[in-house]
């Protein structure tokens, strides 16, 4: 994967992706640097040999765990070129037909580890095919065999897959949005059970990190349509939380580029409704599915600024729910109201540090 002599020459240069900053303060840092170089060389050579010989068992999970241990001890102590080679290696392993779930989980974990710091890898440097991950989502998240004990999945494989998709999502191609819409638009019938699955897929895969020059190939293709669907359906369906996730995420990743003004009254009305606040002595049915508080808070903060009336609507919202914060008003809704204040403050601080 690399020329070891050249790597030794560059060892003292500041061209590694993100090495562990604390190792340089150790009294034996030179020995640590040499040890990290030897470990990295051994990992690269062994993983390359495993793939070339197509002997994934038992070497692949073993040496992948050694790579995870290396990253834990030394950080991303390798060059950008090697970083990209590792990513391509694990993506290629995921595309192997009939790959077992254990090795797939290993790939998910490593890819999440390698891609969770998106500032280190630019969109121009890496392209991830969303269909590779889509195939695994169908196999793992929408597989009923496990319910009938026909399949044994590794522990937490669903969580690993979701984290992997989240980390890979910024690197989908510019045409991925249209491809995803072409795949799932035929499912978008509110009276069909497939609608819920489609919204789950769209929540997972729709690229929302596209740069401004690619917005015409991004959220502008679907946002007005999804807002219209959301406005039309008022019976609190199961898929509504997925839609809220999409709106919140696209708002957060494109602050200042989306005009939410025409939808502001509807958005805050739905948010108020989602708190399930009692009216007089009548408690709202517990069957109503409340929106995620953190997702809602993130959406509100992302809509602020740029001449938006969001702050005025937020003021009106707090005016409407002010009395429910009084200690004499107790109920299941109170925890959500307190959490709303906390999450709103946290989202505002997060935006200041973007």
| Alpha-carbon span 125 to 127, nearest angstrom | 7
User: In which band, very low, low, confident or very high, does the pLDDT at 280 lie, cut at 50, 70 and 90?
Assistant: low
Mean pLDDT on 247-274: 94
Ranges 87-96, 122-131, 278-287: which has the least confidence: 278-287
Beta strands in the chain (DSSP E): 18-19, 75-76
* Distance between CA atoms of residues 256 and 22, nearest Å: 38
Give the pLDDT mean for 345-354: 92
Tell me what the mean pLDDT of segment 246-269 comes to.
95
Who contacts 253 (Cβ-Cβ below 8 Å, separation ≥6)?
A: 208, 209
| Average pLDDT over every residue of 219-240 | 90
Residue with the bigger pLDDT between 5 and 39: it is: 39
Span 161-177, pLDDT tens digits: 999 999 999 999 999 99
Burial of 348 (0-12, 13-18, 19+ CB in 10 A): middle
Average pLDDT of 34-45? 92
pLDDT number for residue 84:
95
Predicted pLDDT of residue 349: 95
Residue 147 has pLDDT above 90, yes or no: no
In whole angstroms, give the CA distance from residue 47 to residue 70: 14
Q: What is the reported pLDDT for 207?
A: 94
pLDDT exceeds 50 at position 240: yes
Look at residue 152 in the predicted model and tell me its pLDDT. Answer: 79
Q: What is the mean pLDDT of residues 321-342?
A: 88
Q: Are 271 and 291 in contact (CB under 8 A)?
A: yes
Rounded average pLDDT over 194-217:
93
Residue 56 scores a pLDDT above 70: yes
- Please give the structure tokens belonging to residue 163: 């984290």
Lowest mean pLDDT among 3-7, 38-42, 203-207: 3-7
The label of the residue with tokens 């890898």 reads 121
Query: For position 8, what pLDDT does the model report?
Result: 46
pLDDT of residue 247: 97
| Cα–Cα distance measured from residue 239 to residue 311, given in angstroms and rounded to the nearest whole number | 28
pLDDT confidence of residue 226: 94
Supply the pLDDT for residue 45.
93
Q: Which pLDDT score, from 0 to 100, does residue 286 have?
A: 54
Residues 267/277, Cβ–Cβ less than 8 Å:
no
What mean pLDDT is predicted for residues 260-266? 94
CB 103 within 8 A of CB 56: yes
d(CA 232, CA 68): 47
Give this prediction's pTM. Answer: 0.88
Look at residue 283 in the predicted model and tell me its pLDDT: 59
Q: Which residues does 43 contact at the CB level (< 8 Å), separation at least 6?
A: 63, 66, 67, 70
Stretch 120-130: mean pLDDT: 93
Task: Let me know if 247 is exposed, middle or buried by CB neighbors in 10 A (0-12, 13-18, 19+).
Answer: buried
Domain ranges of the chain: 259-354
**Portion of the chain with pLDDT greater than 90, in percent:** 64
């Amino acid at each position: 994967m690399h020329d070891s002599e050249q790597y030794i020459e560059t060892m003292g240069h500041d061209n590694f992706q993100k090495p562990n900053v604390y190792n340089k303060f150790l009294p034996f840092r030179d020995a640590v640097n040499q040890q990290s170089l030897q470990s990295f060389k051994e990992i690269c050579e062994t993983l390359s040999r495993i793939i070339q010989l197509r002997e994934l068992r038992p070497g692949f999970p073993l040496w992948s765990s050694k790579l995870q241990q290396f990253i834990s001890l030394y950080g991303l102590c390798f060059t950008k070129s090697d970083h990209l080679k590792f990513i391509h290696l694990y993506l290629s392993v995921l595309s192997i037909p009939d790959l077992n779930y254990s090795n797939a989980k290993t790939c998910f974990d490593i890819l999440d580890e390698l891609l969770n710091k998106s500032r280190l890898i630019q969109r121009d440097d890496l392209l991830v095919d969303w269909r590779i991950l889509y195939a695994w989502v169908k196999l793992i998240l929408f597989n009923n065999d496990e319910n009938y004990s026909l399949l044994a999945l590794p522990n937490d494989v669903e969580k690993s897959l979701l984290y992997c998709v989240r980390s890979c999502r910024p690197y989908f191609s510019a045409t991925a949005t249209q491809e995803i819409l072409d795949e799932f638009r035929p499912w978008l019938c509110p009276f069909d059970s497939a609608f819920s699955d489609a919204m789950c897929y769209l929540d997972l895969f729709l690229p929302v990190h596209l740069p401004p020059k690619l917005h015409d190939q991004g959220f502008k293709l679907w946002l007005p349509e999804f807002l219209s669907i959301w406005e039309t359906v008022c019976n609190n369906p199961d898929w509504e939380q997925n839609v809220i996730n999409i709106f919140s995420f696209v708002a957060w990743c494109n602050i200042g580029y989306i005009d939410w003004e025409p939808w502001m009254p509807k958005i805050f009305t739905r948010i108020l409704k989602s708190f399930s606040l009692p009216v007089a002595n009548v408690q709202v049915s517990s069957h109503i599915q409340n929106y995620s508080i953190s997702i809602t808070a993130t959406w509100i903060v992302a809509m602020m600024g740029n001449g938006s009336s969001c702050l005025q609507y937020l003021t009106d919202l707090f005016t409407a729910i002010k009395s429910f914060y009084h200690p004499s008003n107790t109920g299941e809704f109170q925890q959500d109201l307190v959490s709303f204040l906390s999450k709103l403050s946290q989202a505002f601080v997060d935006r200041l540090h973007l």
